[in-house]
Chain A
Amino acid sequence: MSVRALRRFAAGRALARRLRLRPRNRLTLRLAALFAFLGPGLIAANAGNDAGGIATYSSVGAKYGYDLLWMMVLITVSLIVVQEMAARMGAVTGKGLAELIREQYGVRWSMFATVSVLVANLGICISEFVGIGAALNLAGIPFQLSVPIAAVGVWLLVVRGSYKAAERVFVLMTIPFFAYPIAAILAHPHWGAVAKASVVPHVQLNSAYLFLFIATAGTTITPFMQLYVQSAVVERGLGPDELNAERAEVVSGSIFANLVAGFIIIATGATLYVHGDHTVNNAADAARALAPFAGRFAELLFAIGLLGASLLAAAILPVTAAYVIAETFGFEKGISRSPRQAPVFVGVITVLIGIGMLVAIVPGVPVIKLLVLVQVVNGVLLPVTLFFVWRLAANRELMGQYANGRTFNVLAGATVLATSTLSALLVAVTCAGLF
C-alpha cells in the first residue's frame, strides 16, 4: 500500500468534508487548480520583495514619484524570461542549477557560485530578521522577543514539515503583500499619471537617478531566485509534461511580485514624493513616514507587508543556500528530508537562520553597510548565474526539444546582457562609493 497516496487521499477527503466543498462549475475548479499549483515561481519572485526591496522601492517612489514605473514593466519581462528558463531546466533535467553548473562547467565555477550564494544569502538573512524586528517594533513588540520567536518558527516550518506543507505556507505568506495595493489606494494617487508613467519612459541623466535605476533592477532580479525556482521545481517533482502549467505559474508569480513593487512605488510616490519627503532609509521608515499622509492604517498595512515579506525571505534564502551546497557537493537534499536524512542540508539552514537571528538581536547592527556588501556580492554573482542559465537552457544536448528556440534565445541573450550590465554598473558605483 502506498503511504503518500493514502495520506493525501485521507487528508483530501477530510478537508472536502469539513469544508463541504462541492465544486459548482469549471471556473471554481480551475481557480482551485491554479491555487493548488501556485508554488516555486510565485515564492521565488515574491521573496525578492523583502526588507531591502521595500526600502529600495520606497526610495524610488519618495524620490522620483512615478518616474521609474516604466522600468518596472521592462524588469518584469526580464524576470519572466530568466525565471522561465530556470523552471524549464528544473522540469526537464530534474536537476538544480548548481548541479548543472558543476556538471557542465566544472567545479571551480560551481564553487564560486556556492560561496557567493552562501555569503550573500547570509547577509540578506540577517537583514530579514532585522526587518521582522522592525516591523513588529512598530506594533510595540521588542525585537529581542520577536526575532527569536520568528527564527524558531521559520526553522520549524522548513525543517520539520514536508515540502508540500512548507510550500503551502510560503504561498500563504504572500497574502500580506496585498497590503501594498490597499496602501496605494489609500494614498489616493493620480491614476492617470500612474498609467502614463508606466508606459512612457522617463529618463533623467543624473547619478542619483541612475543609481536608483540600477539598484531597482538589482533588487528585483537576484541570483537566489533562479537557484530557488529550479531546485524547488525539482523537489516538487514536476516533469516536462507539466511544463506549461509551471510556466504559467512562473509568469503569473513574477507579474504579481512586480505589481506589488509597483504599488509600493505608487504608495510612496503619491505621499512622500508629493509632500517633499524624499529620503527613505529603510522599510520601517517608509511605513512610519506614510502615516501622516495616508493615515495610521496605511502605516499598519506597510508594517504587515514588511513582516510577511521578511518572514518569507528569511525562510527562502537559507533554503536556497542549502539547496546550492547540497547540489554542488552531492549531499542528500530536500525540505521533506529530516535532519537525520539530510544533515548537511538541514545544517546549512540552521546555521544561516541561527546567525541571522543572533546578529539581528545585537543592537546597532550596521544593516545598511551589510546590505551594500550583499549588493556587491550579488552584483558579481548575477551575471555569472544568468549567463549559465542562458547557455544551459539553450544546450540541445541537455535540454533536447525543450532547449531555447532561436528567437527566444536572442531575446534571452539580450535580457541577460542588459541585466548583467546594470548589475556590473551597480557593483562599480557601490564600490566607488565605498572608497
Chain B
Amino acid sequence: MELPATIEPRVLHLSLVVGGELVDSIGGKLGRVDDLIVRLGDSDYPPVTGLLATVAGRQVFVPAESVAAIDYGHATLRGVQLDLRPFERRPAEVLLKKDVLDRQLINVDGARLVRSNEIEIARLEGWYRVVGVDVGLSGLLRRLVPRLLAGKIETTRFLDWASVEPFTGHVPTVRLRVPHPKLARLHPAQLADLVEAASHQEGAEIIDAVGGDPELEADVFEELEPGHQLEFVEDRTDDEVAEILARMEADDAADLVAGLPEERRELVIESLPPVQRRRVRALLGYDPATAGGLMSPEFVCVYSQATHAEVLDRVRSSHASTDALSWIYVMNSRKHLNGAIPLAGLLQASPELTAGEIAGTPQRVRPAADLEEVARLMTDYDLTVVPVVDEEERVIGVITVDDVLELVLPRGWRRHFGLLGEDY
C-alpha cells in the first residue's frame, strides 16, 4: 500500500533520528541517542516504547514516559533528571536500527521479500509510531551521504507498515512471541514461495507463524519444493510430521514420505491416521514418474444402476478434491470401469435416469503409463481428469490436470513472484 510521505503529522526518518543528542527539558546535553525501541504485535503501527542512549559512556534505557519529543538531531526529555537504567529486552520489543533496519521484511501485499533501507516514524494518536519502511533508493542514498546532505534527501513514497511483517527470529527475547497475523492474508502458494526465497531461519519463522492453523500449514507444505519440505520436517518429531501429512493430499503426502530418510519413513507412516496410512502405502508402491505415482486415490465411482439422486449424494459426501470430482466414474457389477460422467452432465441429466444411462465411454490409463501418455490423452479428449485402472479394469485412482500441468510447464513458468515489480 502506498503512503505519501507528506502526510501530517510529519514523517521522521530513523537514520536522521539515531545519532542525535539526548537533551533535558532545559536544553542541557546528556548523551547520544543510539536506537529506538518499539513494541510489535498489538497495533497496526507499533509504538516507540523507549530510547537506547549512551550517557557518559554507558548504554542506558530511556523509557518513553520520560521522553517529551523526538526530532532530527535531538530527543528531548520531560524533566532534567534521568534515571540511569541499563537496557533489558522486554517481550515483543525490538530495536529499530539493530533488528529491523537493513534486514528483510515480508511485503504482504506484494507477497515478496524486501529489504528495509529506511524506517519511517510519525506522531500518530499522541505518540511516536513506526508508520512504514522505505525500500527504495532515496532511503539508501540518505544513509550513504554525509549527514549534512542527508537531510536534503526526501522520500516521496514508502511502504505502509500495515502491509509489512518483519522477521524477528534473530531477536533473542522476541523469538516466536510475536504473531504474524498479516501472513494469513496470503495464499499458501505465496507463503511457500516466500519460505523458499528466505533463509532457513526466516523460512522456519513463516512456517511457525502459520502453524496455528494446521490446515494452512499443510497447504503450505503441499506447495513447497521437496528440498524445502524435507528441510522443515527434519527438526520435527515423527508424530508432528504425521500430523502435517494427515492433512495433505495423499499424493503429495506420499511424495514427502518417499523423500524422508529410510529409517524415519516407516515410523512416520505408522503415526498416520488409518485412512491416510492406507493411501500413502498404496501410492508408495508406484514409480513417481508414472500414472500410478501421479494419481490420487480419492474419487467417486458408482455402480451403473445407481440413481441420479444417489450419485449426487455420493458427490456431496465425498472428501475428494473438487478437481477430482469434476468427473464421476461408473462401474459394472464386477467393478469394471464402463462409463464416465462429467459433473455438469450429471446436473443437466434428467433425474429419472440411472448412472449407467447417463455415462459416456470412459478413457483410462494403466498405472505404468508415463507422463507423456497421460498428457496426450488429456489433450486429445479434452479431459481434466483421467482414471487409472488395474489389470482387472478396476479404478484405483485418478490423475487431475493440475498435477500434470505442473510437470509439463516449462521450467521458470511456475514461479511468478519476485519480479522486479512495483512495491507500491
Contacts and interface: CB of A to CB of B under 8 A. Distances in A.
A330 B231 contact: no
B406 A331 contact: no
Nearest to A112: B144
A373 to B, nearest CB: 23
B190 interface: no
A342 interface: yes
A397 B197 CA distance: 23
A291 B165 CA distance: 65
Contacts of B102: 102-103, 106-107
B239 interface: no
A94 B407 contact: no
B135 to A, nearest CB: 7
A94 B200 contact: yes
Interface string B142-154: 0110000000000
Interface string A9-29: 110010000000000000000
A338 interface: yes
Contacts of A338: 412
Interface string A315-344: 000000000000001111000011011111
Contacts of B197: 332
Nearest to A161: B411
Contact of B419 (A1, A5, A343): A343
B275 interface: no
A4 B226 contact: yes
Contacts of A108: 143-144
A395 to B, nearest CB: 11
A2 interface: yes
B255 A5 contact: yes
A1 B403 contact: yes
Interface in A95-134: 95, 102-103, 106-108, 111
Contacts of A330: 104, 113-115, 135
Interface stretch (A202-210, A218-226, A234-242, A379-387): A234-242
Interface string A292-329: 00000000000000000000000000000000000001
A434 interface: no
A262 to B, nearest CB: 37
Contact of A239 (B231, B294, B403, B414): B231
Nearest to B406: A3
B379 to A, nearest CB: 18
B143 A342 contact: no
Nearest to A331: B420
A397 B98 CA distance: 13
B234 A2 contact: no
A31 interface: no
A3 B414 contact: yes
A95 B252 CA distance: 29
A4 B225 contact: yes
Given A94-B199, A103-B103, A332 B143 contact: no
A421 interface: no
B172 interface: yes
A2 B117 contact: no
Interface string B228-253: 11010010000000000000000110
B224 to A, nearest CB: 9
Nearest to B142: A107
B334 interface: no
A4 B289 CA distance: 11
A237 B103 CA distance: 20
Nearest to B171: A397
B362 interface: no
A155 to B, nearest CB: 16
Contacts of B229: 2
B144 A107 contact: yes
A33 B419 CA distance: 36
A107 B294 contact: no
A93 B202 CA distance: 10
B227 interface: yes
Most A CB within 10 A of own CB, among B200, B234, B403, B414: B200
A162 interface: yes
Contacts of A239: 200, 231, 234
Interface in A350-382: none
15 contacts: A1-B252, A1-B255, A2-B229, A3-B407, A5-B226, A95-B199, A106-B102, A107-B102, A111-B144, A239-B200, A241-B234, A329-B115, A330-B114, A330-B115, A397-B170
| In the complex, the 7 A-B pairs of residues with the closest C-beta atoms, listed nearest first | A330-B115, A94-B199, A338-B412, A94-B200, A332-B418, A5-B226, A2-B226
Given A94-B203, A103-B103, 10 more contacts: A1-B403, A1-B407, A4-B225, A5-B255, A5-B259, A6-B289, A9-B289, A93-B199, A94-B200, A107-B102
Interface of A: 1-6, 9-10, 13, 93-95, 102-103, 106-108, 111, 162, 234, 237, 239, 241, 329-332, 337-338, 340-344, 397-398
